[in-house]
Structure 1
Amino acid sequence: MGRTNPTFRDVLGRMEDEWSDFRRALRRRHQPLLDRLFTYAREHADAASHLNHPDRLAPVLVSIDLEQEDRIDELEERVAELEDRLEDTSDRNEDGSDVERTAL
């Protein structure tokens, strides 16, 4: 019988265990951030398991990058919406006349 490759979730769990000393050495405010990175990697475990990449860190890093790109896109959309709203409200004075806009 052949050997069975560990699942990506198994690999990720072992990797998280290996990084536990690093996590403990981090400042308390940074520990949840590291936890979040592993959460990002777990969210893409199904896709990473199909890759079966020889470098076990590569799919983890790409998964983290994907999640961070998604967050950046969401934040950029929110900023654009807020800028639009700010422009809409600053275009009018209290008396209803137009106001000169300045760049943000």
Structure 2
Amino acid sequence: MGKTNPTYRDTIRQFENDWSPYHRALRQQYKPHFERLFDQARNFADAGGIQNSMDPMNTHLISIMLAQECRIAALEEEVSALEEEVNTSLDHR
């Protein structure tokens, strides 16, 4: 039988294993943030698997950036809603 390509999820696990020395060296306060990066990459595993890139690192990084972009957009919406709420309450004074 022929050799099969690793799945996208396999490449994420390998990516995480490759960076484990870095993770161990991080200060405790930064570790949860670092771990969240891999969670973000896993959140887009379906799309990453379809991409089937020759260099999965690019797909991992795009997945992480996309997740961060989504978080930024959600925070911007929250800030806008709060600003609108404050402006409305100031207008009614």
Query: By the TM > 0.5 criterion, same fold?
Result: yes
Is 1:56 matched up with 2:56?
yes
Distance 2:54 2:27 in 1: 32
The size of the alignment, in residue pairs, is 93
- Structure 1: 5+ residue stretches without partners: 94-104
Distance 1:66 1:5 in 2: 25
Distance 2:91 2:14 in 1: 56
Which residue of 1 is the match for residue 33 of structure 2? 33
Q: State the 4+ residue runs in structure 1 displaced beyond 3 angstroms.
A: none
Greater C-alpha radius of gyration: 1
Identity across the alignment (%): 44
Which residue of 1 is the match for residue 85 of structure 2? 85
Q: State TM-score, norm by structure 2.
A: 0.93
Kindly provide the CA deviation profile for residues 36-74 of structure 1, in whole angstroms up to 9, marking residues without a partner as x. 000000011111111111112101011011111111111
Which residue of 2 is the match for residue 23 of structure 1? 23
Q: State TM-score, norm by structure 1.
A: 0.84
Supply the AA of the counterpart residue of 1:78.
Answer: E
Task: Quote the offset at 1:15 in angstroms.
Answer: 1.2
Is 1:6 matched up with 2:6?
yes
Higher helix share: 2
Supply the AA of the counterpart residue of 2:81.
Answer: E
Supply the AA of the counterpart residue of 2:37.
Answer: L
Q: Give SS of 1:29's match.
A: helix
Q: Give SS of 2:6's match.
A: coil
